[in-house]
Amino acid sequence: MNRYSRSLVVDGVEIPWTFKIWLSNFKKAELPIGSLAVDILRDKNFPDNDSFNEIFEYLQSQTNDPDILETFKLVWNFYQAST
């Protein structure tokens, strides 16, 4: 079973469409979503799957900042609504 909930097919090649890939589109936004994107893209250990719980638990293990955790929750909802 595919561990990704979504994927794109480009020239016959399946490419996973994950939260991390989706978020990369916002890395230049001068907003909290942009800061989150930059931080996540720099983190080589960030989960590559689409599990809210796994990603949230990972973020909790990396930061105690409630603003970052709240930003992630809001951005995750935006991601779910847009895909």
- Helices within the chain (DSSP H only): 19-23, 32-42, 52-62, 66-82
Helix (H, G, I), strand (E, B) or coil at 9: strand
Which pLDDT score is estimated for 6?
65
Which pLDDT score is estimated for 11?
77
Residue 2 is assigned to a structural domain of this protein: no
Which pLDDT score is estimated for 39?
97
Which pLDDT score is estimated for 55?
97
Residue 1 is assigned to a structural domain of this protein: no
Residue 43 is assigned to a structural domain of this protein: yes
Q: Please report, in tens digits, the pLDDT of each residue of the chain (83 residues total).
A: 344 456 666 677 766 778 999 999 999 999 999 999 999 999 999 998 889 999 999 999 999 999 999 999 999 999 999 87
Domain of 20 in residue numbering reads as 7-82
Its pTM stands at 0.80
Diameter over CA atoms, the chain: 43
Which pLDDT score is estimated for 7?
62
The CATH number covering residue 66 comes to 1.10.150.260
Taking CA atoms, 29 is separated from 3, 4, 52, 53, in Å, by 29, 26, 22, 25
Residue 26 is assigned to a structural domain of this protein: yes
Taking CA atoms, 76 is separated from 9, 14, 20, 38, 48, in Å, by 23, 23, 10, 15, 14
Query: Looking at the 3D structure of the chain, how many domains does it have?
Result: 1
